[in-house]
Structure 1
C-alpha cells in the first residue's frame, strides 16, 4: 500500500503536472520497457542512460545537412565517459559539451577534413527542445540495478533526477536512502545530470550532485513580489517550466573549486530572480543611462555567486564586448571575490591579467577591452579629466560591492570621471539608509531585494535572536536599545571619530550595559547556549568595547569550567548512550579554544592594565566583514538590532 501511495500521489501527480501544465511528454517505463531501436525509449539495454534516439533527432534538427558520421561521432562523445575520472569530473566535462557544443571531425565531399561544433540544445527557444518525463526507469550499474522514480530528459539527455517519497515522509530520507545510494550504485546515470529534485508531493527541494542535504533549497517564488509558498507546485512551475529550465541549465550552474575542492553550485531562487531582474534592467531602453540599480541581497545570500551568474549570462546571452569592473573597498574582499570568479573558471589573472597593481596599471587595463577587471576603489587615485577618462566606452559595467561604502569622496569621483559612460550597479548586503540619496543618485533605485527576514525563512541565513538583559536592572528608560541602535547608525553615516562619538553618545547608558550583574547573566547564557548545541560548530561573541570583551572572556571561562564540573558529575551517574554522549561533550569542552580579538588603538595597553588585565590586544577589524563558513552561532551584546548596522553586515 505504501508503494501505491508513493506512486499515485507523488510520482504520477508530478509527471501529470509536467505533462498537462508544462508541456512535457510523459512515459511510464516500469516493467513495460522493450529494448532496441523500436523499443519504448530506444535503449539497447538498461545500462544506457542517454536516449540516443532523441539525441540524434535533436542533432539533425539543429545542425542541418551533415553526413551521418558527424551525428554518430557527436552521439559517441555525449555517451562515452572516462572510467578513471570521478563522477563530478565526468559531469563537468558533459556540461561543457552541452553549453559549447560537440566538436566533431569528418570528411567533406572532396576528401578534405572538416570540423563542426554541433548544438545539442536550442538555448534561445526552449520549446524547440524535446522535454520528456519518464517514470520508473530501471538503470543497471556495475553490480546493482536501481529504479529511478522520475527522470527528466531533454533531447534524450537525463538532465533532471526526481526522487519521490510518500507525503508523510521527510525529504531527508529521499536524500540519504535513495539519492546517495544511486550515486554509489549507478554513478554513470549522473554524468549528465543538471538538477536533483527531492519531493513528497507537499514539499520539494533542489540541489546538485555534490550538495549535502543542508544545501538543497526550496523554490518559493515565481517573482520577487510573491510572498513565498513552500510547496512542490511552485517549485515545478519555477524550475520545470521549459523556458525557466533551459535558462537555469544554461546560465545558473557553476563549478567552483575556489575552496580547494570542486563543487557544483545551482542558483537559489532569490539569485535566479535577482539576476534576471538586472538583465531586464540592462535590456530596458527606457532606463536612466548609466544606472542599473541597487542589488540588495542580505548577508549570507551568496552575492559573489550572483555576480558570477550575472556577468556570465550577459556575456553569453547579450553578447558584445562588455567589460565588468568589480570594485570593492578592501583588499581582502577584492581577493575573496576574485577567487570566486577564478574558482568558477570565469577568469585567471595569471593567464590574462585582470588585477591591477596600481592606479596606472588600472588605467592601462581599462583601455584594453578586458572581460573582467578586479580592483579596489583606492586604485582610482589618479585625477582624471571627465572629458577624456580612461575610456569612453558605454559597454563597461561597474559592479560595486557594498555600494553604500564606496560611492563617496574623491576616489569615487575619480572613478566616475575615468569611466564617464559606464553603467553602475551597486551590490550590497545592507538596506540603504532612508537619507542615503547619494547611493541612489549613483546607482538608481533597487533593482532586486532579498531582505534578512526572507533569507532566514529560506534558511540562507541563520536567524538572529534578541534577548534584552537590561530588564533585571530595573532600567526606567524602556527604549534604551532603540536609542543605542539609532546612535550607532548615525555614527556610521557621519564621518567622525567613532570611538569619541560612542563615548559621548552612550556615556549615560554605558554603565548599565556593562554592569557586572548583566555581564554575568550574559556569560551564563552564552555558556548554556553554546554547550547545548556543542555539535553544531564555532561561535562568536561581539561586545560593545574591548574592555567588556575581555571581561566577558574571564566570566565565560569561569562558567565554562563550572559547566565542565557539572557534566563530569552527570557523567558519573550516567550509563549507556548517555554516558558516551557526555564523554564526547566533555572532550569537546576541554579542547575548545577561546580567544579575544580586538582592533588596536593608541594607549590601549595602559587602559587594560588599569583594569587589571594582563593582555596585549590583537589587531583584527572584525567590523569590516569576514567569512566563517563553519560558524553556526554568533552572540551580539548591545543594541545592534537594526538590519543596516555594520555588525549585521559583517555577520
Structure 2
C-alpha cells in the first residue's frame, strides 16, 4: 500500500508518454539495458555505416569499453560526438549516438523500475531512452511528499548508483504531481537552486506534471532540448541546461535570422543570464548554412576577466583580449572561423583599416550579436557597420532597453536601431522565479537646507560646494561605518559606494582612510577609476593628477593585500579588485569599493549585497547599478540593499515601472520598516473600531460587519508578514499596539468565519452571502516555519529507543498542531496525531519513520475512500481511480464520474456534487507539501 500512489503515478506518466509516441519497453536490469542499446545501434546504422553487417560481439565489446562508465561530463561529450569504431576487418565506421541536427529522427523509448545493483540495490522510477541510452530520468513522489525528497533521492542515486550507461543521463525531472522541476546532471554537487521551472513563451509556469510531460517531454522537444539547449562547459567540466526564457529567446532569434532579413532585440533583465543566452544564439547561428560569419560584439570596458571566463566556458579561447586588430582581420579571413567574439572598438578599427579581407563581407550574410545593446556608442558604430556590411542582421541583448523616456542622446530608442523586441523576461518575472532578488531601498537626508535652498534645487545645480562639503562626506562616511555590519550581515557580504565624480571618490577614500587611522573601523576600503592622459586642471590650487591619486590608492592596496599593482598595468589591478569583491574570507576581501561608473554594469557577485549611492541616477543607469546587489545567494540575503544619499525616490519608482512594464513596483521594491509599521498601526485602529476585542467578533451578527472584520484582519496579517522580515521587528504591545496572544485570538475568529463559509459550500447550501465575495486568503496566515514539512522533520527525528524523550517530543508536536497556521497542516493534523500516538510507540529502533507515516497515510486514505464509497453506494475502485486522475491532471471527468451513479436525476445530481467535493478534499488533505 505504501507505494500504491507512486505506482499509479508512474503508470499515468508511462501511459501519457506512450500516447505521445514513445515506445514502451520492458527493461528491468543493466543487462537488458545494454542489449537494447546494442540492438538500436545496429538498427540505426545497419544500412549506411555498417553496410548490413551488425556489430560482432568483439566490436560491441570494444565500443562499450570506450564509452561505458565514463564521467557524466565525458559521457556528455561522447554523446554529442561521432564515435570512430575499428571493425574486425580493420575498416573504420562512424557511429553517432544522438542526431543533434534532426531531433525527431532519434528513437524514443520509455521504461520504468529498472533495477540495479551498484553500491546499493535500487530501482529507478521512469527512464526515457533516446537511441537506447538513458538520457532523462524522472523521479516521482506521491502527492503529499515534498518535491525536495525526490531531489534528495536523485542525489542518493548519483552518489551510490547511476553507473555504466546511466552516466549518460543529461536531465533529471522530479515531481510530486503539482510541483515539477528539471535540472542538468553533473559529476559535482548539484544545488537545489539549480532546479528550474518550465514555462511557456509568456513566462507562465507549467508546474503540473501532466502539462509538463505534454510540453517539455514531447519527443522532438526533449531531443532538441538536449541537442541544442544544453551547454558542455569545458572550463568547469560540467553540463548546463538553459532556462525556458533563454530557450524561447534563442528560438526567436534563429527564426528571425533564418526566415527574414529583419533585426530584433531581446529584453532579459539584468542578472538573468544574458551572456549564456546570447552566446548560445551566436553558436547555433554560426553552424547554419548561408550565414558567412556570426560576430559577437561587446564593449571593451565590459570585457573583463569575468566576461572572458564566461565566454570561455562555452567555447575555449573564444575571446582575444589584445588590442591587436590584425588577429581580428585574420579571423575574418579564415573560412573555418565561423564565430568571432570581439569588441566594438576593434571591429570599428577593422572597418577603418581598409584591409582587402573586408571586401568579401560587403554582400555576404553576416549576423551581429550586440551585448548590452542599450549603450549609446553602438548607435555611432552601427552606421559605419551598416555602410560596410550591406547584408548584415543585428540582434541586441539588454536588460534595460532605451525607450522614449530614456532615449539616447541622438534621440533614438533601442527599437529604432534593432526593431522588434523578440522576447522579454522582466525583473518581476526573475524575482518571481527566484533568479534574482528584489530591492530594499533606504533614502537618507544628508543636510538640513535653509528655507531658500531646497535639496531639489541643490540636486539640480549639482554644485561641488554642497555635495562635496567635508562635513557631508564625513557624515556619510560615519553612517556607512556605523551601519556596515547590519547591512552586510556582520561582514558576510560586501558593499559598493557609487559617487558622482573622481574627486568625490577620492574625498570618500580619504575620509575612510582617516577614519581607519583613528580606529573607527577595520574595513578594507579601496577605489577604482580611469584617468585621462591630459586632464584639464581647471587651474585648481593643489591639483593632483588622477593617475597619481590612483597610484597612491594602489600603494595602500598593495600594503593591505601584499600585492604589487601600479598604474603601468591597470588591467591587473582591475582584475584583482574584481576577484577580491567576490571573496568571503575576512582580510582577503574588499569590504567596500568606491566607484564612479566602473563595476556598475556587467559585474556579478553573489557576495555583494549593498550599494550606497551618492550620485544622480535614472532609468537604465539606475537599474543597472541597483542590480549589482540582487544576485541570489542564501536565505541571509533576502534582497539587495540600496542606501541613497540623494533624493532618488521618484527616479527609482520611474525606472522600476519602466523596466517591469507595470505601474506596480511592489514586486521589485520593499517598503521601509517605518512605512509597514505605520500601515500596521492604521490597520489595527480599523480592526479595533470593528471589534475592540476578539470576543466582540462573536457579536458581529450582520454579515456586512463580519465582512468588514475579515477584510480588516486580512490586511493586518498581510502587513505583519512583511514586518517580520525586518530586524527591528518586536512582537510586543508596546511596539505594535497588540501582543502576540491577542493577535492569535483574532486569528482564531478569522478562521472560524472562514470555516463557516467553507462548511456552507461543502454542504451545498445555495444561500447567497456577502462573505462569499471575499477571498479569505488563508495563505497569508501560514507561518513561515511551522508547516507540514517542518512537522514531518520533527517526526522523523523521534527517538524510538528512549520512551521518555519520545513522549516529550510527541507532546511538543501536539502543541504545534493545536496552533497550526498552515492550512494544509490543519487538514493533516488529525492524521499526524493518530500516527504519533498509535503507530510511533509500536515502532522498533531503525525503522524509517517517514516511510511508516506514508504507509499509514495511504492505508487511512484507502479506508476513507472505501467508507465514503459504501455510504454513497458508489464503486470504490472507480472512486479511487477518479481521485488519482484528479491528483495527476487536476481534472474531474464528469462523464466518467456519472457512470458510477444510479437513481433519479435529483439524487444523481446531489450525489455528484458530494463526490466532487470529496475528491477535492481528499486531494487537499493528502496532497503535496514543501
**TM-score for both structures, normalised by structure 1:** 0.72
For residue 529 of structure 1, the aligned residue among 476, 483, 487 is: 487
Q: Aligned pair 1:314/2:279, yes or no?
A: no
Structure 1 residues 52 and 605: alpha-carbon distance in aligned structure 2, compared to 1, 3 A threshold: farther
Q: 2:114: which partner in 1?
A: 137
1:174 maps to 2:150:
yes
1:45–1:242 Cα change, 3 Å: closer
Distance 2:13 2:449 in 1: 59
Structure 2: gaps of 5 or more residues:
555-569, 575-596, 630-930
The reply on whether 1:163 has 2:134 as its aligned counterpart is no
CA displacement at 1:277 relative to structure 2: 0.7
Output one character per residue of 1:65-84: Cα deviation in whole Å (capped at 9) or x when no partner: 6243448678556644578x
CA gap 1:164/1:42 in 2 versus in 1, 3 angstroms: closer
| Residue aligned with 1:18, SS | helix
Cα gap change, 1:79/1:179 in structure 2, threshold over 3 Å: closer, same or farther? farther
1:597 is aligned to 2:527 = yes
Deviation larger for 543-552 or 356-365:
543-552
Corresponding residue of 2:251? 276
Cα separation, partners in 2 of 1:554 and 1:189, compared to 1, 3 Å: farther
CA distance in 2, matches of 1:277, 1:475: 56
- Which of 343, 364, 368 pairs up with 1:394? 364
Aligned to 2:21: 23
Q: Give the match for residue 906 of structure 2.
A: none
Whether 2:193 is the aligned partner of 1:222: answer no
Structure 2 residue matching 1:447: 3-state secondary structure: strand
Q: 1:616 to 1:471 in 2, by over 3 A?
A: closer
Counterpart Cα distance in 2 of 1:238 and 1:124: 20
For the structure 1 residues 184 and 63, does the alpha-carbon distance in structure 2 shift closer, same or farther, using more than 3 Å as the test?
farther
- CA–CA separation in structure 1 for the residues paired with 2:550 and 2:99: 69
Between 449-458 and 513-522, the greater mean CA deviation after superposition = 513-522
Count, aligned residues: 563
- Report the Cα distance in structure 2 between the residues aligned to 1:396 and 1:635, rounded to whole angstroms: 40
Cα gap change, 1:123 to 1:361, in 2 (>3 Å): closer
Which one of 419, 424, 429 corresponds to residue 449 of structure 1? 424
Say if 2:268 is the partner of 1:300: no
Q: Deviations over 1:341-377 (max 9, x none)?
A: 443346657xxxx777533543443233321222222
8 Å Cα contact 1:303-1:427 kept in structure 2: yes
CA contact (8 A) 1:62 1:119 kept: no
Matching residue of 1:365: 331
- Looking at structure 2, the residues matched to 556 and 4 of structure 1 have their Cα atoms a distance apart, in angstroms, of 68
> Deviation of residue 158 (structure 1)?
0.2
CA contact (8 A) 1:430 1:643 kept: yes
C-alpha distance in 2 between matches for 1:510 and 1:12: 71
CA distance, structure 2, for counterparts of residue 279 and residue 455 of structure 1: 23
| Residue deviations 1:178-219 (CA, integer Å, cap 9, x gap) | 424433444335421111222222222222222622442323
Query: Distance in 2 between the 1:641 and 1:517 partners?
Result: 25
Secondary structure in 2 matching 1:245: helix
- Whether the 8 Å contact between 2:28 and 2:113 is mirrored in structure 1 is no
SS in 2 for 1:161: strand
Report whether the alignment pairs 1:198 with 2:164: no
Q: Distance in 1 between matches of 2:473 and 2:208?
A: 48
The answer to whether the Cα contact below 8 Å between 1:294 and 1:425 also exists between their aligned partners in 2 is: yes
Rounded to whole Å, the distance in 2 between the matches of 1:549 and 1:410 is 35
Instruction: Note the alpha carbon deviations across 1:565-586, whole angstroms, 9 max, x for none.
Output: xxxxxxxxxxxxxxxxxxxxxx
Distance 1:133 1:480 in 2: 69
Alpha-carbon spacing, 1:321–1:516, altered in 2? closer, same or farther (3 Å): closer
Give the one of 87, 96, 103 matched to 2:84. Answer: 103
Compared with structure 1, are the counterparts of its residues 182 and 326 closer, same or farther at alpha carbon in structure 2 (3 Å cutoff)? closer
Q: CA deviation at 1:446?
A: 1.6
Shift of 1:282: 0.8
Does residue 470 of structure 2 align to residue 503 of structure 1? no
Partner Cα separation in structure 1 for residue 38 and residue 67 of structure 2:
22
Q: Specify the SS of the correspondent of 1:456.
A: helix
Q: Deviations over 1:419-450 (max 9, x none)?
A: 33222222223222323526434432222222
Equivalent position of 2:4 in the other structure:
4
- Within 5 A, what are the aligned runs for 1:73-472? 76=61, 79-81=64-66, 87-96=71-80, 100-106=81-87, 114-123=91-100, 126-141=103-118, 143-210=119-186, 212-223=190-201, 225-258=202-235, 261-285=236-260, 287-288=261-262, 291=263, 293-316=264-287, 318-320=288-290, 322-330=292-300, 333=303, 336-337=306-307, 339-345=309-315, 357-369=323-335, 370-379=337-346, 380-381=348-349, 383=352, 389=359, 391-405=361-375, 407-408=377-378, 411-434=381-404, 435-436=407-408, 437=412, 439-470=414-445
3-state SS, counterpart of residue 309 of structure 1: helix
Provide the rounded CA distance (Å) in 2 between the counterparts of 1:178 and 1:448: 34
1:186–1:227 CA distance, 2 compared to 1 (3 A): closer
Q: Does 1:68 align with 2:53?
A: yes
Q: Structure 1 residues 60 and 617, CA, compared in 2 at 3 Å: closer, same or farther?
A: closer
* Change in 2 beyond 3 A, CA 1:11/1:550: farther
Question: Kindly tell me: are residues 220 and 365 of structure 1, through their superposed partners in 2, closer, same or farther at Cα, counting changes over 3 Å?
Answer: closer
RMSD: 4.6
Give the CA deviation at 1:149: 2.0
- 1:476 Cα shift? 11
Give 1:162 deviation, angstroms. Answer: 1.9
Assess, with a 3 A threshold, how the Cα gap between structure 1 residues 409 and 305 changes in structure 2: closer, same or farther.
closer
- The verdict on how the C-alpha distance between 1:78 and 1:92 changes in structure 2, with shifts beyond 3 A counting, is farther
Contact between 1:136 and 1:147, CA under 8 Å: does it hold in 2?
yes
Cα 1:443/1:398, change in 2 over 3 Å: same
Q: Distance in 2 between matches of 1:507 and 1:168?
A: 65
CA contact (8 A) 2:608 2:628 kept: no
Is this contact kept in 2: 1:367–1:391, CA < 8 A? no
- Aligned pairs for 1:577-616 (under 5 A) are 594-599=524-529, 616=552
Matched residues in 2 for 1:139 and 1:373: separation? 46
Q: CA separation in 1, counterparts of 2:474 and 2:35? A: 69
Question: For residues 11 and 179 of structure 1, do their structure 2 counterparts lie closer, same or farther at Cα, with a shift above 3 Å needed?
Answer: farther
Partner residue of 1:41 out of 19, 24, 27: 27
Relative to structure 1, the CA distance from residue 546 to residue 644 in structure 2 (aligned partners, 3 Å threshold; closer, same or farther) is: closer
Distance in structure 2 (CA, Å) of the matches to 1:102 and 1:475: 80
The structure whose residues are more often helix, as a share, is 2
Contact 1:384-1:417 at 8 Å conserved across structures:
no
Q: In the superposition, relative to structure 1, how do residues 303 and 133 fare at CA in structure 2: closer, same or farther (>3 Å)?
A: same
Q: For 2:141 and 2:381, locate their aligned partners in 1 and report how far apart those are by CA, in whole Å.
A: 57
Query: Post-superposition shift, 1:385?
Result: 7.3
Q: Is the 8 A contact 1:195 1:206 kept in 2?
A: yes
- Matched residue, 2:810: none
1:314 shift after superposition: 2.5
Q: Which stretch has the larger CA shift, 441-450 or 155-164?
A: 441-450
Distance across 2 between alignment mates of 1:347 and 1:377: 19
Equivalent residue for 2:711?
none
The residue matched to 1:23 in structure 2 has which SS?
Answer: coil
CA–CA separation in structure 2 for the residues paired with 1:123 and 1:441: 37
Contact 1:194 1:249 in 2 (8 A): yes
Provide closer, same or farther for how the CA distance between residues 151 and 448 of structure 1 changes in structure 2, counting only shifts above 3 A.
Answer: same
Residues 476/304 of structure 1: CA separation in 2 closer, same or farther (3 Å cut): farther
Q: Residue by residue, what CA displacement relative to the aligned partner does 1:212-247 show, whole Å, maximum 9, x if unpaired?
A: 224423234221x24445444454344212221111
Aligned with 1:546 (options 500, 505, 518): 505
